[in-house]
Amino acid sequence: MPTTLTTDVEIKPGIGAGGGKLGPGGDPFGSGPAGSKDWPPGWTSEDAIEPEKYRIGMWVGLASILMLFIALTSAYIVRGVPALSGGDSDWLPIAMPGVLWFTTGVLLVSSVTIEFARRALKRNEYARFKRWISLTTLFGVAFLVGQLIAWQQLAAQGVFINSHPHSSFFYLLTSLHGVHLLGGVIALSYVTVAALRMRIGFKRRTAVDVTAIYWHFMDGLWIYLFGLLFFFR
């Protein structure tokens, strides 16, 4: 396996040259510490290990978020099915606030735009990347605002978290999902600002990748919660 350092670094999809400087950092060593793998010449072991690390970390984190919502789903089912909850059913489904169709649509579209952004970055088309990533961030904010409007519409009808079980679950699930999504929006803002300042180096490319995974997951999670809350009540 060659260990000679070449300056013409082959740019691999997803791992491009660092922003500003050409070629990944100066580690003239071809063999990464992950053991069995041999990295192509010019890659540092860190280049190979870092994105993997963040990706694994993200999937592991998503598993735990998934468990949180699975647990709440089981509570929803137990609490919502009179036969299971012990008889005295006070389950009164709330009317769906219309704005939720809008927020759902926005979130769906944002999953597409973040994918465009990611692809653009892979092909090093910075202008397109900037456009799509900013747009995604805006969509994220719009979604959160829409959720707040939904709460307001319900509150105006006099439906609060303690009104009855379905409204309790509605407020609970939307706010937990909202908090997680807010985390995504913060991550998106971070890469957007970095992109606007033309600082999309190696680490931030990974951040874009990992944020995209998270974003798709949050999108899917919302579709699921939306279905659970309004088509399984």
Q: Which residues bind other proteins (CB under 8 A)?
A: 1, 3, 26-31, 33-36, 44-46, 49, 52-53, 56-57, 60-61, 63-65, 67-68, 70-72, 74-75, 78-79, 84-86, 88-91, 161-162, 165, 168, 172, 176
Please identify, using beta-carbon distances, which residue of 130 and 166 lies nearer to other proteins.
166
Please identify, using beta-carbon distances, which residue of 44 and 111 lies nearer to other proteins.
44
Within 10 angstroms of residue 188's Cβ, the number of other Cβ atoms is 27
Least separation, in Å, of the C-beta of 119 and other proteins? Answer: 26
Tokens coding 133:
């990533």
Tokens coding 124:
């090093």
Least separation, in Å, of the C-beta of 47 and other proteins? Answer: 12
Please identify, using beta-carbon distances, which residue of 3 and 157 lies nearer to other proteins.
3
Please identify, using beta-carbon distances, which residue of 22 and 179 lies nearer to other proteins.
179
**CA triple 205-210-214, angle to 5 deg:** 145
Within 10 angstroms of residue 217's Cβ, the number of other Cβ atoms is 19
Angle between the N-to-C axes of helices 202-231 and 165-196, in degrees from 0 to 180, rounded to the nearest 10: 160
**CA triple 189-190-192, angle to 5 deg:** 60
State the DSSP code for 40: P
What region does 38 belong to: left with phi over 0, alpha with psi -120 to 50, or beta? Answer: beta
Least separation, in Å, of the C-beta of 54 and other proteins? Answer: 9
Residues in contact with 155: Cβ distance below 8 Å, sequence separation at least 6, in sequence order: none
Least separation, in Å, of the C-beta of 131 and other proteins? Answer: 31
Least separation, in Å, of the C-beta of 201 and other proteins? Answer: 17
Least separation, in Å, of the C-beta of 160 and other proteins? Answer: 9
Please identify, using beta-carbon distances, which residue of 62 and 138 lies nearer to other proteins.
62
Please identify, using beta-carbon distances, which residue of 92 and 198 lies nearer to other proteins.
92
Q: Is 197 exposed, middle or buried (0-12, 13-18, 19+ CB in 10 A)?
A: exposed
